[in-house]
Structure 1
């Protein structure tokens, strides 16, 4: 008897045995499981959890984003100027030359000149005080402080501004932390984020 006929006889004898049904069911079940797990992609849909509440951002954290340069309005002066945004500066500063202090009806005022489109414009504001201010070079100098209403985007607020000769600087206005803090988010990659 050849090996192949002996093997076939053994195979049929095995299939006819009592264990054949169990083995057949086991193999079918294993193949089905294998195909389900690896043969096809299953899409598992996660049901929304009713216990998870949506995140609500408080209004105080929804701040307008501004760039490194923005337009600033001064309603009392009827002026609109381009300003440099500087989070490193403690206070705001405006270009001022020919500064004079004067008193009217017991109140102190300051008259000075700034430039709009390279033309001198005379402005007047209430005097607040004289105080030492550190420049970007680290030099401390006395400057006159005024109080003026300033508007950037939709935010309008009275702010203290120091007067400084900014002739050699690119922008007539510098906006510092005393106006920015708590009101804006600054993205230095942007310019005129609030529009023209």
Structure 2
């Protein structure tokens, strides 16, 4: 009996305790204090996003700092290279300059070609005089200074007569200065001028220049406003001569019966103007 009462007392005590713990008011208070699972998940996601944002910003700043360090490192290497070059230049400047002396000889013949300066003396045996000539590889054809150019016909062929167009101080054998010269017309060339198009006769004359003795085609035109009464173009020089523009009068002046000796040529050459171009 005693045991039964004890059990019943214990059960009644547990029931009273259970009734107090799970009363409706207590349950509502407990639910108000506890967060739902959805709210916890949202809270954790916000925390995660905040942490990722902070880490991402730090990573970007780190990348920018690394780029700045790389640029500074490249600048330092460049400055070092410049300093090494400057030291090398200063060392070379301190050394005594070396003088290199080369012995050069001018050979008037290059292989089978004749070396010419930018100005030379030419002889015209059919006219009987020597004249100064400008050698110009930029010009195609050669030219002879002429005035009073008069075409005419002889035995059915086209000919031309003319006089040399010279200034008073041009070097020429005086006996032929005002002589009429006649020659057959080989062809005609068209020349564009400021006032239109002109046709000029081309004649062929025997010409000597140093060891060269050739028939050369000359366009007849008045060259008195230019420095030389004769212009030799590249068509004449082809395969027989080369030009050294740093030199003048490499070949001797030809001699004629009524002319001055070749030894007097340097005095006439000295009157040339180095700045005058044809």
Q: Which structure has the larger Rg?
A: 2
TM over 0.5: yes
Instruction: Give secondary structure in 1 for the equivalent of 2:235.
Output: helix
Higher relative contact order (CA 8 A, sep 6+): 1
Which ranges in structure 2 are unaligned for 5 or more consecutive residues?
1-108, 169-176, 254-278
For structure 1, list consecutive stretches of 5 or more residues without a partner in the other structure.
1-58
* Paired position in structure 1 for 2:159: 109
Aligned mates of 1:99, 1:182 — CA distance in 2: 31
Distance 1:141 1:89 in 2: 18
Deviation at residue 144 of structure 1 after TM alignment? 1.1
Residue 26 of structure 1 is matched in structure 2 by: none
More helix as a share of residues: 2
Distance between the aligned counterparts of 2:192 and 2:244, measured in 1? 25
Q: Deviations over 1:115-135 (max 9, x none)?
A: 467343321111112212468
Name which of 225, 234, 247 aligns with 1:190.
247
Q: What CA deviation, in whole Å up to 9, does each residue of 1:5-35 have, x standing for no partner?
A: xxxxxxxxxxxxxxxxxxxxxxxxxxxxxxx
Determine if contact 1:166/1:172 at 8 Å carries over to the other structure.
yes
Q: 2:222 matched to 1:165?
A: yes
2:117–2:243 Cα contact (<8 Å) kept: yes
Between the aligned partners of 1:178 and 1:140, the Cα distance in structure 2 is: 23
Q: Is 1:131 the equivalent of 2:189? A: yes
TM-score, with structure 2 as normaliser = 0.45
Aligned length: 136
CA distance in structure 2 between the aligned counterparts of 1:133 and 1:157, rounded to whole angstroms: 25
- Within 5 Å, which residues of 2 pair with 1:116-155? 118=168, 119-133=177-191, 141-155=198-212
Q: Which has more strand, going by share of residues?
A: 1
User: What is the root-mean-square deviation of aligned Cα atoms in Å?
Assistant: 2.4
- Could you tell me how far apart the structure 1 residues matched to 2:205 and 2:226 are? 22
Question: Contact 1:115–1:121 (CA<8 Å) still a contact in 2?
Answer: no
User: Does the 8 Å contact 1:109/1:127 carry over to 2?
Assistant: yes
Cα 1:87–1:122 change in 2 (3 A) is: same
